[in-house]
Amino acid sequence: MNRAMIARWVLTGLSGFFAMSASANDPIQAYPSTLPGLHRHVIQLPATANEQDQQVELIIGKEEQVDCNARSLLGTLTTETVKGWGYDYYQVAIKPGRLSTKMACLPNSTKKRFITLPLNTAQRFIRYNSKLPIVVYAPQDIAINYRVWQAKSAVMTAEQK
C-alpha cells in the first residue's frame, strides 16, 4: 500500500468514528432524515423513575369528513432497523380505500373525525425508553399521535380455585 492509500483509509475510518460519536450524543442523527414519500415523526420521551412500568401507545391516523359509519384506514406498520446502529424505527404504508360499516346514515350527518389505522397490540404498544426517540416515517397527510400508559405499583395475586 502506498502512503496516499493508507492516509485515505485512516481518514475514512476517522470520519466514520466521528459520525458514530455524534450520533451517540444525539441518537436522532443515526436515523434517516427522510424516506422516499414519507415524513419523519419523532417522539422524545422524558426520563421517569420507573420506565419499565410504562408503555407508549401509537395512534396513527388522519382527520376526515365521515358519516355515522365506523371507519378505519387500510395499511401497515412495519418495524425496520437502522443499519449499523440497531435502533428500531417504524414505517407506515397507507393503502387506498377505507374499512367501513354499512349502516344507513341520516342525510347531512357527516362530521370530522380522526380515522385510525388498526394495529395489533404488539404493534400499538411500544416499550417506554427515554434514551432513544421513537421514530415513525409516514405519508405527509398522516398524523402520529401517542399516549403513555402506566401500570399501578400494586401487584395482586390471583386466587387459586
Whole-model pTM: value is 0.79
- DSSP result, 11-31: HHHHHHHHHHHHHHHSGGGGS
Q: What is the pLDDT of residues 18-65, one digit of tens each?
A: 344 444 578 899 999 989 999 999 999 999 989 999 999 999 999 999
**How big, in percent rounded to 5, are the helix, strand and coil portions of the chain?**
20, 40, 40
Averaged pLDDT for residues 110-139: 95
In this structure, CATH architecture of domain 32-150: Sandwich (2.60)
Residue 25: the pLDDT is: 74
The distance of Cα 160 from the centroid of its chain, to the nearest Å, equals: 40
Judge whether 89 and 137 are in contact, CB under 8 Å.
yes
Residues 6+ apart with CB under 8 A from 62: 73, 114, 115, 141, 142, 143
Strand 88-100 with 39-43, pairing:
unpaired
Looking at residue 2, its pLDDT comes to 54
With 0-12 CB in 10 A as exposed, 13-18 as middle and 19+ as buried, what is 137? Answer: buried
3-state SS class at 135: strand
* Residue 9 scores a pLDDT above 80: no
Query: 64-102: per-residue pLDDT in tens?
Result: 999 999 999 999 999 999 999 999 999 999 999 898 999
Q: Model confidence over 108-123: pLDDT tens digits? A: 889 999 999 999 999 9
Q: Which residues pair with 37 in a beta bridge?
A: none
